[in-house]
Amino acid sequence: MANHTPLSYLDPARPEPWASFIEQIDRVAPHLGHFSHWLETLKRPKRVLIVDVPIVRDDGSIAHYEGYRVQHNLSRGPGKGGVRFHPAVTLNEVMALAGWMTVKNAALGLPYGGAKGGVRIDPQAFSRAELERITRRYTSEIGIVIGPDKDIPAPDVGTNEQTMAWMMDTYSVNVGHTASGVVTGKPIALGGSLGRLEATGRGVYIAAREAGLRIGVPISGARVAVQGFGNVGGVAARVFRENGAKIVALQDAQAAIANPDGIDITAALAHAAAHGSLAGFFGAEPISDEEFWQAECEYFIPAALEGQVTPERARNLRTRIVVEGANGPTTPAADDILQERNILVIPDVLANAGGVTVSYFEWVQDFSSFFWSEEEINARLESIMMKAFAAIWQTARERKVSVRTAAFIIACQRVLAAREQRGLYP
| Residue 416 domain flag | no
- 275 vs 155 pLDDT, higher one: 155
| Residue 396 domain flag | no
| Residue 414 domain flag | no
**136 and 231 co-located in one domain:** no
**168 and 211 co-located in one domain:** no
> What residues does 237 pair with on adjacent strands?
none
**170 and 210 co-located in one domain:** no
Dihedral, 131, 136, 138, 141 alpha carbons, nearest 10:
-160
**227 and 301 co-located in one domain:** yes
pLDDT at 168 over 50: yes
Q: Which domain holds residue 260?
A: 198-351
**Does the reported pTM lie above 0.85?**
yes
Residues whose CB falls within 8 Å of the CB of residue 28, separated by 6 or more in sequence, listed in order: 405, 408, 409, 412
**112 and 234 co-located in one domain:** no
- Would you put residue 78 in left (φ > 0), alpha (ψ -120 to 50) or beta? beta
Query: pLDDT by residue (tens digit) across 68-82?
Result: 999 999 999 999 999
Per-residue confidence (pLDDT) for residue 365, from 0 to 100: 94
Mean pLDDT (whole number) for 387-400 = 96
Last residue of some domain: 351, 385, 403?
351
**172 and 203 co-located in one domain:** no
pLDDT at 107 over 70: yes
| Residue 140 domain flag | yes
Per-residue confidence (pLDDT) for residue 5, from 0 to 100: 36
**164 and 44 co-located in one domain:** yes
**Number of neighbours of residue 391 by Cβ within 10 angstroms:** 17
| Residue 287 domain flag | yes
**207 and 331 co-located in one domain:** yes
pLDDT at 235 over 80: yes
Question: Is 116 tagged catalytic?
Answer: yes
**226 and 111 co-located in one domain:** no
Q: Highest mean pLDDT: which of 154-163, 191-200, 274-283?
A: 154-163
Which of the following is catalytic: 116, 186, 246, 387?
116
**207 and 309 co-located in one domain:** yes
Per-residue confidence (pLDDT) for residue 4, from 0 to 100: 36
Three-class SS string for the chain? CCCCCCCHHHCCCCCCHHHHHHHHHHHHHHHCHHHHHHHHHHHCCCEEEEEEEEEECCCCCEEEEEEEEEEEECCCCCEEEEEEECCCCCHHHHHHHHHHHHHHHHHHCCCCEEEEEEECCCHHHCCHHHHHHHHHHHHHHHCCCCECCCEEEEECCCCCHHHHHHHHHHHHHHHCCCCHHHCCCCCHHHCCCCCHHHHHHHHHHHHHHHHHHHHCCCCCCCEEEEECCCHHHHHHHHHHHHCCCEEEEEECCCCEEECCCCCCHHHHHHHHHHHCCCCCCCCCEECCHHHHCCCECCEEEECCCCCCECHHHHHHCECCEEECCCCCCECHHHHHHHHHCCCEEECHHHHCCHHHHHHHHHHHHHHHCCCCCHHHHHHHHHHHHHHHHHHHHHHHHHHCCCHHHHHHHHHHHHHHHHHHHHCCCC
Per-residue confidence (pLDDT) for residue 198, from 0 to 100: 86
Last residue of some domain: 351, 378, 396?
351
**165 and 235 co-located in one domain:** no
**250 and 207 co-located in one domain:** yes
| Residue 10 domain flag | no
Last residue of some domain: 351, 375, 402?
351
Mean pLDDT (whole number) for 355-362 = 95
How far the first Cα of the chain sits from its last, in Å, is: 65
Per-residue confidence (pLDDT) for residue 15, from 0 to 100: 59
| Residue 417 domain flag | no
| Residue 392 domain flag | no
Per-residue confidence (pLDDT) for residue 281, from 0 to 100: 86
d(Cα 232, Cα 226) in Å, to the nearest integer? 10
Per-residue confidence (pLDDT) for residue 86, from 0 to 100: 95
Q: Highest mean pLDDT: which of 160-169, 222-231, 295-304?
A: 160-169
Per-residue confidence (pLDDT) for residue 14, from 0 to 100: 52
Q: What is the number of structural domains in the chain?
A: 2
Q: Is 418:41 a contact under the CB 8 Å cutoff? A: no
Query: Which CATH number goes with the domain that contains 303?
Result: 3.40.50.720
Query: pLDDT by residue (tens digit) across 1-60?
Result: 333 333 333 344 555 889 889 999 999 999 999 998 999 999 999 999 999 999 999 999
- Which CA distances in Å does 323 have to 200, 212, 250, 404? 12, 11, 15, 11
Residue 4, phi then psi, degrees to nearest 5: -140, 135
Query: Which CATH number goes with the domain that contains 169?
Result: 3.40.50.10860
Mean pLDDT (whole number) for 200-212 = 95
| Mean of the per-residue pLDDT values of the chain | 92
